[in-house]
Structure formats: C-alpha cells, structure tokens
Amino acid sequence: MLSWFAFLTAGRPLGVSSAFVRLAAWIEGLIAPAHVEATPYLARLRPVLDWEFFLVAGIGLGALAASRLGEVRRQERPPAKRIAEAVIGGFFLMIGARLANGCTSGNGISGSLQLALSGWVFFLTIFVSGAAAAMLFRREAR
Amino acid sequence: MFDTLPRILLGLLTGFLFGFFLQKGRVSNRRVILGQFLLRDFTVMKIMMTAILVGGIGVYAMLAAGWVQLSIKPAHLATIVLGGLIFGPAMVFLGYCPGTAVAAAGEGKRDAWWGLLGMTLGAAVYSELDASCARLRALADFGPVTLPQITGIPAHVWFAAVLVFAVLFFRWIDSRRAA
C-alpha cells in the first residue's frame, strides 16, 4: 500500500540504492567538483537532495521510532570481523545494485509488483545466489 | 541542488512509514534475513510476496483508472543477472539489503553503520565503472518490458498465479514446520 502512495504522490516507485550514488556524488563534489562534472554517472543524478534521498533518511527515522516503541536494547559494539564483513559486504552490495540498476526495493519489489521482466529476473537471481552463498558459508549460522 | 519542499516532505514521510514497517516486520534484523537465505525463516519472502501482490494489484488498478503511470526499468538482462549474482552473496555477508541496512542503522545497529560506509564507497567506485559497463548492458537488452507484454497473458492472471503459488507455498512451509 505504501507503493500505491509513492506512485500517487511522487509518480514513481520506491527505491533506495541510487541515494547512495547521490551521497557519493555529493561528497566527491566537495572534494573534487571537476571530477563529478566529468563523470556522467555522477553528474546526471542532480538534484542531490531529492525525494529519494529524503525517503532514505525517513527509513532510518521510521525504524528508530519503531524500535523505540518496542523494547529498547543496548546495541553492542561489533567485533572487528563483523565490521570488515559489513564494509566489504556493503561495498559489493552497492556495486551489484547499481550494475543491475536497482536493489531489493527498486528492482525486487517495485519492479516485480509492476510485473517488470527486470524485477523478476533480479529477484530470482539474488535469491538463488544468496541462498547458495548462505549454504556454503553460513551453515553454522545462529 | 534541492527538490521542492513538498516532494522532500513526501519523501521523508514515505520513508518514515517504510522504515517503521521494515523494523516492525523484523527484516531490519540480519538473522531474519540470513534465515531466509538458509530457507529456515520465510519472513522475508512473506513480506516481499505480500508487498508485490498488494502493491501490484493496487498499482495496476490505479493504472486502469488513469491515476498513475508505470515506471518500468529496462530489462538489461546481462547486467541484471551479473549485478544480482554480486548482490545476493554480498547481502548474505552484510546481512542486510540497502533498505534494511538503512533501517538497521537508524535503529542504532553499529554493524549497519559500517555497512552504509561500504555502500557509499561501492557507489563511488561503481560511478567510475559505469561508462565501461555500457557494452555489457547492451548485450541482452530487452527494453522496459513487462511479463504481460512479452507473454500476452494479462496482469490479473499473473497476480492470481502469484497469489495461488504464495498461498500454497507458505501453507506447505508452515505445515512442514509444525510437523
């Protein structure tokens, strides 16, 4: 139902991953503005702080509100191995998402619900490859 | 640099609701996501199937009423499959997808903050590589097509088929767990 709302009000489906390109474009713009202008993939994503960017900010706030309404647990500091996993996992997650032109939300859900071929192919690919990786590396998982 | 204020507020509101539901639906918990990939916990599948069915039927109904237009991403199958093959295992290691990582980070989970750092670096690096991916994208480009368009089977039949499949599948899963 939230995607009805997004379609009606913003005229577009929900998606998350390109906000990270905007964030990267914004940071790079502070350091090396000429480089951003020279890289079409970065330059085409103006305005930087758009609907999707605030959508992503809202996701964080919404989850914070939801967790505060539930029981509040103190968050432990993650061990170094977990930090490395998260940074490397996040890095490749975004490479994969941008290569496929969308993530679980933009491609998997918003694409699939419109019955887009792109959405269903992406959904099935991540499910099969993720399950294979989990079976290989995370059998012992908690 | 900025979108208009109403659009920013709408984005914030939509995101707030999305993040709220993700957290309440327990998918900002990486054990739940990993459990799905290990085929032990089907919470993620249930949420995604529900979102696809409810969202899809609604969007197609609004399309028929002329209220909205579809926004179909082109089916560049070579890059979608390759990207998906990178994305799936990366999601297993990080434990989140981009949306749930943001939700988990908002909740205060420290590992998700590190994940966001990795994601931003990944986005920056991909921006440099994008131009060289053009040929790969063109390799199997079917354009912005939908399943009803390529098969000639109308949308409501597709949704009915997904619904029947989802109901039977989750019943089977739940009965197996109960046994």
pLDDT 10s digits, A92-101: 999 998 888 8
- Share the mean pLDDT of chain B: 88
Q: Scanning every residue of chain A, which has its alpha carbon at the shortest distance from the alpha carbon of B32? A: A142
Q: Scanning every residue of chain B, which has its alpha carbon at the shortest distance from the alpha carbon of A24? A: B124
B145-155 mean pLDDT: 92
Q: Is B97 left (phi over 0), alpha (psi -120 to 50) or beta?
A: beta
* Burial class, B175, CB count within 10 angstroms (exposed 0-12 / middle 13-18 / buried 19+): exposed
Give ∠ CA B69-B74-B75 in degrees, rounded to 5: 130
A23 interaction partners in chain B (CB closer than 8 Å): 120, 123
Distance from CA of A33 to the nearest CA of B (A): 14
Instruction: Compute the Cα dihedral for A138, A79, B93, A69 and give only its sign.
Output: positive
Q: Scanning every residue of chain B, which has its alpha carbon at the shortest distance from the alpha carbon of A128? A: B88
A47 interaction partners in chain B (CB closer than 8 Å): 1-3
pLDDT tens readout for residues A66-77: 887 765 565 667
pLDDT for the residue numbered B35: 92
pLDDT at residue A7 tops 60: no
Least confident interval from A86-90, A107-111, B62-66, B110-114: A107-111
**CB A66 within 8 Å of CB B20:** yes
A80 interaction partners in chain B (CB closer than 8 Å): none
Contact A115 B104 (CB under 8 A): no
Instruction: Compute the Cα dihedral for A83, A86, A89, A92 and give only its sign.
Output: negative
pLDDT for the residue numbered A2: 54
Give the distance between the most distant pair of CA atoms in chain B. Answer: 57
- In sequence order, the β-bridge partners of residue A116 are B146
